Amino acid sequence: MAITQTRPQERPELAPIRTIRDVPVEEFYTSGHRTCQGCHSALLMKYLAKAAGPRTVTIGATGCMYVANTSYYATPWVIPWMHTQLGATGSAVIGAAAGYAVQQRKGKLAEEPINVIGIAGDGGGADMGLSAISAALQHTQYNVLIILYDNESYANTDIQASGSTPWGAVTAFTPSGTVKRITQDRWKKNTPGMLVAGHPEARYIGSASAAFGVDVMNKIRTALRVGGPTYLHVHDACPKGWDFDPRYSRELGQLAVECGIVPLWEVIEGELQYNGITRQIVEGRRKRKPVREYLMRQGRFAHFTEEDVDYFQAKVDEMWEKWILPGVLPVQALPEGLPKPGRRAAGLADGAGAAANGAVAP
Amino acid sequence: MASGSVDVTYRGIFQKILAGNIVKTLVKASRHSGKIGGTISRYSDSPERNGIPAKQFAVIAESQDELHVEMAKYEPDNIRLIAALDDTLAKGHESWAWYGIRPIHLGLREGGALLVVSEHERAKLLEFIPRLPFEWRLAILPGEKSFSGLWVYHDDGTEFRVLGAIARLIPEVVGLEELEKEVGKGPKAEQHLDWLRQGYREVQVGTVPAGVGAPNTYEPVKLPEWTEMAEAIIVPAAPRGGRQEAFKKFTTRSERPVIDFDVCTQCKQCFVECPDSVFELTPEGYYNPEYEACCGCGICAEVCPVDDCIVMVDELAFADNRDLYEEWKADRAAYRQFFQGLLERERVTARSSRRKVSA
C-alpha cells in the first residue's frame, strides 16, 4: 500500500490574513536568537512560525538560521526544529512527511494535519540543496513546504558569494580591486523560476520578500493549504552582508521589489498570479524605480560606476520587457513566425498555467 | 620597557575593521622597539554579528616564550589597557548564551587603563562601570562612536586618535615614537600622524580609586555540563508564551526605542516587523517593548507611521530595562515630561553617528 498523505481539506487555522490586524499575536519563534540587528531572515522565521502555527515541524539546513538559532544550548524556537545537512532540506522534509504518514496510518499518531516545513538559505537551497529540493517537488503524495531564505550570500560563514549573489556585489570571495572592479561576474540564479518551469506537478511555487510580512504569511498559508510538495522563495535584506544600517531592512527589501529586481508572484495549481507592487508593475499601473535607488544604498555596490549601474538596469529591463513571463520565466528565443506569447496568453488572463504545466517552451 | 596585552572591545561588524586595524598597528609598532607580538580576534560569536559586543586583542611581548604563554591563554588576562570603541559598552557585554553580562573591565590589572571613546563625562560613565577592589585609570577620548560596514571603511581619524591615546596611557608597551614610525609609513601619512598626535594630546586620564563605581554584581557564570544536557544534542524549546532565557541580546544595542504612547495609534506595525519579537500586547491594546529582548536595530522606529512616536535614545540615558509602559499608565503627565526631556537632553538620533549608507 502506498504511503500517501491525503490532501489537506479544511484548514481553518490557515485562513488568509486580510490585514495586519489579523496577524496572530502568539509567537512560535521568539526572542533570544543571535542574529544580527535588523535581520530579515530571522523576521521570516518569525513569520513562518506565526503563519503555520503550533502543529508545525521545521527542518533547517546549515546556514545562519541554523547557527544563530540553536547554538550554545539555547533556542528561540517554540515549535520543533531539527537540523539537517547543507544539501539535504528536500530529502529531510520528504522523509519526515513520509514518517508522519506511516505513523498516522499505523495509528501511532493521531490523524491530523502536521505542517512539515523545510528551511534552507540560498547557499543550502539554491546552490547545494537544489537537486534535493527538485526531487522533493516531484513527490506529490506528501505535504511539505520548503522555504528558501535568500539573503544573497553564504552569510553564516561571513558573506561569501553564492549562486544567488547579485552581479557585481562585493563578498568575501568577490572583492572589488583596482585592477578588476567587478569580480562577482555571474548574474543571479533565478531559482523560483527554474523550479516553476521544471516541476509542473508542484501545486504551489512562489516568490516573496520578508519586507512584505502579510504577503509572506499568506503565501505560507496558501502553500500549506494547497498541499503536496510546495516551495516559497523569500528575498531577505541582510544588513551585514549588504552593508547598510539595520534600521533600513524593510526599506531595502521594498526597494528591491519596487525596482523590479525581485518580483512577487505565485503559481497556485498552475495559475500564475503577480502580487502587490509587482502586480501593479505588470499591469502597467506603476513604474519600476531605477535600480540605482536600490544599489546605491548598499556598501556591497559602493564600487559601482555609471556603466555598472547601466548594465544592471539593462539586465533588469530585459527581465521585464523580453521574458515570456515578466520577472518569472526567461524564454526569449522563439522561432520566427510564431506569435510571441504575451503575458496574458501565457497565464495572466487565461490562467492557463502555461508555466506550471510545462507548456512554456514552444 | 614592558610587555602586556591590549583588549579592544567594539561593536561587531560596525567596528570590526577599526578594531582590527588598531591591534595590528600596535603589534607592528611594538617591533620598532624590538618587541614581538600577535593579535587574537573572534572573541565573540563566530561569525560576528552586527552590534554584538566583540573583542580583539594585541599581545605584545619581549620574548618568544613570553608571547607563546600569553597567546596560549583562552582569554588574555592581566590586561594593561582595554579600549572601548563605543561608550555604551560601559554597561557590560554579553557575547554568548549562558555567560551573562560581563563587566567592561574584566581582566584589567591593577593600575591598568580603560579607554572609552565617548562624548560623555567621567561621572556619567562611572554610573555604569562596576567598582574594582584596586585603583585603575579611566581615560576618555572625546568623540562620537565611529561606525561603518563590512565592506566600506570610514577613515575618520578614530583609528589613529585611539592609537595616540593608547601611547599616552601605556608608553611602556607602545610609545608615541614607535607609533609615529609605523603610521608614518602608510598612505595618507600626514593626516594620520596628525590624528595620532591629536589623540595623544586630547585623551583625558584620571585614576579611579578602589571601590568607586557602580555596584559590581558580576559572578563568573557556571556553564551547563554535558551531564546536565539532554541526550542527542536536544536543546529545550523556548516555552510557549515565554522567551528564550539563556541569551538576552540587549547588550548588542547602542540605542533603545522609546515610545510616546500618547500618540501611538496601536497600528501593530512595530509588533509585526520586529525581528526579535520584542513587543508584547498589553490588555489596553498597546505594544510594549520588553527591553531585555531588544537589540536596538531601530526597525520599529523606522516602520512606525507616526512622527516622533518611536524614537531611538542613547543607551546611556537608562540605567536598567524598566517597563516604561507601566510608568506611562501610572502617570501620563510625568511620562510626557520624561519623554520631552529625552527629546531635549539626550542623544535622540536618527543614528547620525552611523552611516546612512554612502551614495
- The string of pLDDT tens digits covering residues B249-295 is 999 999 999 999 999 999 999 999 999 999 999 999 999 999 999 99
Residue B64 scores a pLDDT above 90: yes
Domain with CATH 3.40.920.10 in chain B: 4-208
Q: Residue B158 phi/psi, 5° resolution?
A: -55, -45
Q: Give me chain A's average pLDDT, please.
A: 91
Which residues touch A191 (CB under 8 Å, ≥6 apart)? Answer: A122, A125, A126, A130, A148, A150, A164, A233
pLDDT of residue A326: 92
- What pLDDT shows up at residue B356? 34
Of residues B315 and B347, which shows the higher confidence score? Answer: B315
Mean pLDDT over A130-147 rounds to 97
Q: How far is CA A211 from CA A15, A248, B3, B49, B307, in A?
A: 21, 10, 51, 20, 21
- Between chain A and chain B, the number of residue pairs with CB atoms below 8 A apart is 184
Confidence of residue B75 (pLDDT cuts 50, 70, 90): confident
Region(s) of chain B under CATH 3.30.70.20 = 250-345
pLDDT at A6: 59
Closest CA to A73 of B235, B101, B248, B239: B235
Predicted local distance difference test score (pLDDT) of residue B357: 33
What is the Cα–Cα distance from A149 to A60, expressed in whole angstroms? 11
B5-30, pLDDT tens digit by residue?
999 999 999 999 999 999 999 999 99
The pLDDT of residue A354: 39
Among the residue ranges A14-23, A331-340, B230-239, the one predicted with the least confidence is A331-340
With a CB-CB cutoff of 8 Å, which residues 329-348 of chain B face chain A? none
Contact B235 A78 (CB under 8 A): no
Q: Domain B250-345 adopts which CATH fold?
A: Alpha-Beta Plaits (3.30.70)
Residue B353: the pLDDT is 35
Please give the share of chain B, as a percent, with pLDDT higher than 70.
Answer: 96
CB A269 within 8 Å of CB A357: no
Distance separating alpha carbons of residues A324 and A190, to the nearest angstrom: 14
Closest-CA distance, A189 to chain B, in angstroms, reads: 23
Average pLDDT of chain B, as a whole number: 92
Res. B348: pLDDT tops 80 = no
- What is residue B81's three-state secondary structure? strand
pLDDT higher for B350 or B339?
Answer: B339
pLDDT above 90 coverage of chain B, percent: 79
pLDDT band at A121 (very low <50, low <70, confident <90, very high): very high
Q: 3-class DSSP state for residue B118?
A: strand
CB atoms within 10 A of CB A303: 17
3-class SS of residue A101: helix
Chain B residues in contact with A54 (beta carbon < 8 A): 240
Decide: A124 and A63 in contact? Cβ < 8 Å: yes
Q: What is the mean pLDDT of residues A51-61?
A: 97
User: For A142-193, how does the pLDDT look when each residue is reduced to its tens digit (9 = 90+)?
Assistant: 999 999 999 999 999 999 999 999 999 999 999 999 999 999 999 999 999 9
Q: Could you say which of B152, B278, B299 has the minimum Cβ distance to residue A38? A: B299
The answer on pLDDT for A355 being more than 50 is no
Nearest by CB to B238, from A42, A75, A250: name it: A75
pLDDT at B279: 98
Domains and CATH numbers, chain A: 12-348 (3.40.50.970)
Query: A350 pLDDT exceeds 90?
Result: no
Q: Which residues of chain B lie closer than 8 angstroms to A305, CB-CB? A: none
Q: What average pLDDT does this structure show over B221-234?
A: 86
Closest CA to A43 of B324, B300, B333, B206: B300
CATH topology for B4-208 is Pyruvate-ferredoxin Oxidoreductase; domain 3 (3.40.920)
The per-residue pLDDT for A335 is: 61
B298 or B73: which leads in pLDDT: B298
Asked if A251 is an interface residue toward chain B (Cβ–Cβ < 8 A), one would say yes
Looking at residue B97, its pLDDT comes to 84
Tell whether the model's pLDDT for residue A358 goes beyond 80.
no
pLDDT tens-place string over residues A246-278: 999 999 999 999 999 999 999 999 999 999 999
pLDDT-based confidence at residue B347 (cuts at 50, 70, 90): confident
Q: Give the residue among A106, A51, A103 at the shortest CA–CA distance from A79.
A: A51
**Predicted local confidence at residue A361, as pLDDT:** 38
Angle, helices B176-183 vs B158-169, to 10°: value is: 150
**pLDDT given for residue B350 in this prediction:** 45
What confidence category does residue A344 fall into, taking pLDDT thresholds of 50, 70 and 90? very low
Q: Can you tell me the distance from the alpha carbon of A285 to that of A237, in angstroms, rounded to the nearest whole number?
A: 26
Q: CB count, 10 Å around CB of B240?
A: 12
Closest-CA distance of chain B to residue A317, Å? 22
pTM equals 0.93
**pLDDT at residue A85 is higher than 90:** yes
* Contact indicator for B170, B6 with CB cutoff of 8 Å: yes
Closest CA to A155 of A266, A63, A52: A63
- Does residue B354 have a pLDDT over 60? no
Place of cell 547554538: A71
Q: Does A342 touch chain B (CB under 8 A)?
A: no
List all residues 6 or more positions away from A10 whose beta carbon is below 8 Å from its beta carbon: none
Q: Do B97 and A35 touch (CB under 8 A)?
A: no
Optimal mutation site among B16, B86, B150, B252, interface A, most CBs of chain A within 10 A: B150
What distance in Å separates residue A25's CA from the closest CA in chain B?
Answer: 8
Residue A340's pLDDT is what? 57
At B77-118, the pLDDT tens digits run 889 999 999 999 999 999 888 888 999 999 999 999 999 999
User: Which region, left, alpha or beta, applies to residue A72 given φ > 0 means left and ψ of -120 to 50 means alpha?
Assistant: left
Supply the pLDDT for residue B44. 73
Identify the residue with better confidence: B47 or A181: A181
The separation between CA B160 and the C-alpha centre of its own chain, rounded to angstroms, equals 19
> Is the pLDDT score of A336 beyond 90?
no
Who contacts A193 (Cβ-Cβ below 8 Å, separation ≥6)? A328, A329, A330
Residue among B151, B297, B359 whose CB faces A300 most closely: B151
pLDDT band for position A348 (cuts 50, 70, 90):
very low
Distance from CA of A285 to the nearest CA of B (A): 25
Across A86-91, average pLDDT: 96
More confident call, B230 vs A201: A201
